[in-house]
Amino acid sequence: MSLPKEKLLRAYRQMKTIREFEERTHAEIMNGQIAGFTHLYTGQEANAVGVCENLSNEDTIISTHRGHGHVIAKGADVIPMMKELFGSSEGLCKGKGGSMHVADIEKGILGANGIVAGGPPISVGAALAQKIRKNNRVAISFSGDGSVNQGTCFEAMNLAVVLKVPAVFVIENNYYSEHTNIEYAVGCDDLKARTESFGFPVFVADGADFFSVYEAAGKAIDHARSGSGPAGVFAETGRFHGHFVGDPQHYRADGELDDLRENSCCLKNFRASMAKSGELSQEELDAIDAEVMALIEQSVTEAKGAPRPLPEQVTEDVYINYGAA
C-alpha cells in the first residue's frame, strides 16, 4: 500500500508518541508521581493510529479504560494530556478526569470510559445524531475482546443495524480480559463471526501492522460513511504491559512478553517496511524519535510544575445545567 510521505511520517510519529507517552507514564507511576489506576496501551499503537488516520476532527471516537493511545491518535495534545494524568487543573479535563476519563470534545474525543463495553452504546448515540444531522461523519467505538461478551455491546451492534447508523465497532483482541485468556472466557471459536452475525461487514486486521489496520479501517469507515450502516474492524493485537500498572502478570506463559516485544512491535514493523520500500529513511525516523522523546520530557516537566485544582473547584465542570426547556 502506497501512502503520501506526510501521512507516513505522521503515522510513525503518532505511534512513537503513544509508545513513549505510555512508557513514561509507567515510570512516573512506579516512582509515585502519578496517582490512580492506569491501564497502558503499549503494543497496540497501530490499532489506534491505523483507525484514526482515516478520520477527521469532526468524526467521533469513544474509548476504553485503556484509552491513552486512542486519544493521542485522534489528535489530543500530549502536554495537557500528561497534565491530566498528573491531576493538574491545566489538564485536558482540568485534572478531574484522569487516565480513564480523558476527553477533548473539539477533537471529536467523546471520552475514555472505565466501563467494559460502555463505549459501543455511546457511539451508536453519536452515530444516530450524525445520521439525523446528515453531516457525513462517522462514530467509532474502540473496545476489547472482553467487550464482545457484554450485553451492552450486543444491543449496540443490533441497534446500529436496525437504525442503519454510521457506527464503526473496532474490536481489539489482545487475548486477555484482565487476567483471563479468551480461551477461558469466550464460548465460541470465532469472535469475528460472532460480531458479523449482527448483520454488518467486519474487516480483519493485523494489529501489529499499521498498514493492515489502516486498510481494514478504511474499508469499514467508507462503508459507514457511504450510508450503508455500521461496520466493524477486528484486530489481533498484544499488550506489552499487564492489565494495569503493577499487575505481576503471573498468568502469562514464559517468554510470551519477550516474544511480543520482539515479534509484534508495530514500530519495528513500520521501520522494516520503510527499509524495504525506501519511502522513508531510517534517519528520518530517528529524527522523529528524538522529537518525540523531547516532547514527552517537556510534558512531564510541565506536568510536575503545574497547579492542582483548588478544593472549592471540586464541583465545577462536573455537572451541566441545560437550562429551562
Ligand X SMILES: Cc1ncc(C[n+]2csc(CCOP(=O)(O)OP(=O)(O)O)c2C)c(N)n1
In the complex, the residues that contact ligand X under the rule CB under 6 A are 65-66, 114-116, 143-147, 174, 176-178, 243
Residue carrying the nine cell digits 509507567: 26
Residue 147 CB, nearest approach to ligand X (Å): 5
Sheet with 231-236, strands from edge to edge, namely 60-62, 139-144, 167-173, 231-236, 202-206
What are the angstrom distances between the C-alpha of 46 and each of 41, 130, 239, 283, 322?
10, 27, 12, 21, 39
Q: How far is the CB of 22 from ligand X (least distance, A)?
A: 13
Q: CB 99 → ligand X: shortest distance, Å?
A: 13
SS3 109: strand
Nearer of residues 115 and 293 to ligand X, judged by Cβ: 115
Torsion of CA 286, 22, 24, 240, to 10 degrees: -90
Q: Which residue is nearest to ligand X (CB)?
A: 144
Q: Return the bridge partners of 154, or none.
A: none
Q: Which pairing describes strands 139-144 and 167-173: parallel, antiparallel, or unpaired?
A: parallel
As measured in angstroms, the least distance from the Cβ of 120 to ligand X is 11
Nearer to ligand X by C-beta: 36 or 227?
Answer: 36
Find residue 142's DSSP bridge partners: 170
Would you say 141 or 143 has its CB closer to ligand X? 143
Angle, nearest 10°, between helix axes 5-30 and 210-225?
A: 110
Q: Which is nearer to ligand X, 130 or 195 (CB)?
A: 195
Query: Nearest approach, Cβ of 72 to ligand X (angstroms)?
Result: 16
Least distance in angstroms from the C-beta of 166 to ligand X: 23
Residue 285 CB coordination number (10 Å): 19
| Amino acid at residue number 122 | I
CB-nearer residue toward ligand X: 39 or 94: 39
* Of 48 and 265, CB closest to ligand X: 48
Among residues 116, 175, 174, 198, the alpha carbon closest in space to that of 149 is found at 116
Nearer to ligand X, 68 or 223 (CB): 68
Task: Round to whole Å and give the CA distance between 134 and 129.
Answer: 8
Q: Nearest 10 degrees: CA dihedral of 191, 194, 198, 199?
A: 80
- Taking the complex as a whole, how short is the minimal distance between the CB of residue 176 and ligand X, in angstroms? 5
Q: Are 203 and 223 in contact (CB under 8 A)?
A: no
Smallest separation, CB 64 to ligand X (Å): 6
Separation of alpha carbons 224 and 227, rounded Å: 6
270: cell is 513500520
Give CA 241 to chain center in angstroms: 15
Nearer to ligand X, 80 or 207 (CB): 207
